[in-house]
Structure 1
Amino acid sequence: MAAGWHRWRGSVRQVASPQRYAPVVPGVWVATSRRYATTSTILLDGSGGAIAVDPNWDPDELAAIPADLASLGVVCVGGVSTHEHYDHVMWHPELGSVPRWASPRAVQAMEADRERLLAPLAEYLTPELITLAGRLDVLDLDHLPWAGPRTRVVLHQAHAPGHLALLLEESGVLVAGDMLSDVELPMPDPADEDLDTYVTGLEALRAAVLESRWVVPGHGSPTSDPRGRLEADLRYLDDLLCGRTSSDPRVQDPEN
């Protein structure tokens, strides 16, 4: 999570207030929250169903998502949380009682330490929404089990153990979670003191990045330059490891 605000000003179709969903490619829509440039991604299966990836953030924004889906002529048939951090495990009751997938490690972490992981949400959400947060189901497959286009699950340990990304193989869209952001610097897990785990995670993402034509980060703007995002993060980490002052423009953001 990065406390910077940066709205994607691409081609935007106005749907239900307050969120504005923007099409990245046919079947992939992204909205940006007023908080921390956090993205909610909708994947359409082509048969009237939709997957909500990391839906967020404020109660009114969460409440708008079901209406946004209705405006697109679809209903929610599932959810995905890219990792267990509190800003990626939210939900709304009108999205329904559907599978809400996350990696086995993310589900294990949430079950073992739910109260601590969700504690920051008390500042933002109602008790009802906090109760719904983090109710995750194990996704232990190489591909998303849905009716839509073939979507690869890419697992790594950077940022959080069991972090996952989704690569829509046909359209080349990589939904990256808290990786490859234009506003958020790489944020390793606190236990990753030598950055080896984070660098290894970026390398695990490399193959997906090379196959992708778009990347949607969990915070910030979608881009048609996935390789540029990967290279920027690797340069920044190399600067840190070598003790150099980084010229990365994200360093100038006081929230980083």
Structure 2
Amino acid sequence: MNTVVVAGSDGCLLVDPGVHTDELATLAAEIRERFGRCVLAVSSHPHWDHLLWSTGLGEVPRLASGRGCEFLAEPGRLSACRAEAVAEVPDCDAALLGVVSSLRDEGRSGRIEWGGPRVEFVVHDGHAPGHLGLFVPGDGVLIAGDMCSDDEVPLLDLAARDPLGDYWDGLNKLARLAGDRCEVLVPGHGGVACGGAEIRARFGRDRAYLDSLAAGGPVADARLGEGAPGWLVAEHEAAMAWSVRRKSSG
């Protein structure tokens, strides 16, 4: 998973800290050495791998979107996230997972309030409820969360009322947030995209996938080719089955 650190004058802002215990320990040491301390953290969305934390990172405000916090507050959600985390990372500090509070996002867009460089955000429900997209205009960096990956096809939230519509909305909001200012795109998983041509290609591949999915297939996407992980293929097959059912019932 990709972690983003935004340097400020009195510490740093941390987005999606990481997954494995040794990664978090290394990250904490590097932050102390290079930035002094972490002063604020943001989870891009309420999935377990974006909600982990370590005591080494300090006791700092940890934020998520209002909708993301509401989702985690639903009965059984947080305990399920913690169980998933322990199953994948047995030595994680499950008690610290998901200890987040809501940022001020009533308008579903705005600016992170902190003492460092300007960080803008939008909220959408593509992939997960209350998914945040963040943009650092001073550096031209778009932090996309689990969107626009070169490794993963769009992963829809099939429990939502309108999974395709939500994902389309998310892509469009990310594109509007950064506009022509974007020079670097950081997805939650996969490689970083640099330069306008590569960034536009990322959006284009995701849009083409959604178009094919909406049509009920076929889907021609290199991310599902030979060597694709089984879990990703299974997610795609579930989305395709959902799309076929949707078309047949509509």
TM-score category, normalised to shorter length: 0.7 to 0.9
Indicate yes or no: 2:123 matched with 1:155: yes
Aligned to 2:100: 136
State the partner residue of 1:25. none
The match for 1:3 is: none
Q: What's 2:236 paired with?
A: none
The match for 1:176 among 144, 147, 161 is 144
Is residue 2:157 matched to residue 1:196? no
| Percent identity between the two aligned chains | 36
Q: Choose from 47, 50, 63 the match for 1:85.
A: 47
Q: Which has the larger radius of gyration?
A: 2
Q: Which amino acid aligns with 1:195?
A: L
State the SS of the aligned residue for 2:150. coil
The 1:191/1:50 distance shift into structure 2, 3 A limit, reads same
* TM-score normalized with structure 2 length: 0.82
Name the SS of the counterpart of 2:220 in structure 1.
coil
In structure 2, what is the equivalent of residue 117 of structure 1? 81
Structure 2 unaligned regions, length at least 5 = 233-250
TM-score by length of 1: 0.80
Determine which of 219, 222, 235 is the counterpart of 2:192.
222
Q: Give how far 1:199 is off.
A: 1.3
Letter in 2 for 1:228: A
Q: Report the AA paired with residue 158 of structure 2.
A: P
Contact kept, 8 Å, 1:174 with 1:212, in 2: the verdict is yes
CA RMSD of aligned residues (A): 1.6
| C-alpha distance in structure 2 between counterparts of 1:254 and 1:177, whole Å | 20
Aligned residues: 217
C-alpha deviation, 1:219, in angstroms: 0.4
Counterparts of 1:60-99 in structure 2 under 5 Å?
A: 60-99=22-61
Cα deviations by residue, 1:212-242 (Å, 9 ceiling, x for unpaired): 1111000011111322111110011111112
Greater RCO (CA < 8 Å, at least 6 residues apart):
1
| Runs (4+) off by over 4 Å | none
Of Structure 1 and Structure 2, the greater helix share is in 2
How far is the alpha carbon of 1:125 from its aligned partner? 3.8
Note the C-alpha offset of 1:109: 1.6
Q: Deviations over 1:138-166 (max 9, x none)?
A: 11241011111111111111001110011
Once the two structures are superposed, residues 35-92 of structure 1 have per-residue CA deviations (whole angstroms, 9 ceiling, x without a partner) of: xxx11111111x1411111111111111111101123143110110001100000001
Structure 1 residue 246: Cα displacement: 2.5
Distance in 1 (CA, whole Å) between partners of 2:208 and 2:178 is 16
The alpha-carbon distance between structure 1 residues 200 and 93, as it changes in their structure 2 partners (threshold 3 A), is same
